[in-house]
A = this chain, B = another copy of it.
Amino acid sequence: MSDFDYRILDDIIHSRVRLAIMSYLMTARSEDFTALKKQLNLTDGNLSTHLSKLEITGYVVLEKQFIGKKPQTTVKLSAEGEKAFGDYLHKLTAMIGNPS
């Protein structure tokens, strides 16, 4: 496929919200659901929808626990997610040229 074939871009990562989530996790590695929601300026529903898509694909892992009586969800970038993001960046750069 040529560099300009849109199919080379992983649509699971490329959607704007999921790209923001994955980009953030590439730096933070893991984050509490509520903090992630604030950082990315998302609603509960929006973040949950996109996280479940990333989780089904294996790119993130959601860990749920109780802190006292309060449920807490931590979102972690998986090794598979990290690799997929690296591949995605490589193909994106091949398409758009090196933006630096």
Interface residues of A, Cβ cutoff 8 Å to B: 1-2, 4-7, 9, 11, 14, 16-17, 19-20, 23-24, 26-27, 39-42, 89-90, 92-93, 95-100
Out of B6, B7, B19, B93, name the residue touching A99 (CB < 8 Å): B93
Report how far A98 CA is from B21 CA in the complex, Å.
16
Assess whether A90 is in contact with B97, with CB atoms less than 8 Å apart.
Answer: no
With A4-B40, A16-B14, A41-B5 as contacts: A23 and B97 at CB distance below 8 Å = yes
Considering only CB atoms, which chain B residue lies closest to A41 in the complex? Answer: B5
Q: How far is the CB of A18 from chain B (nearest CB, A)?
A: 9
A41 to B7, CA, bound (A): 9
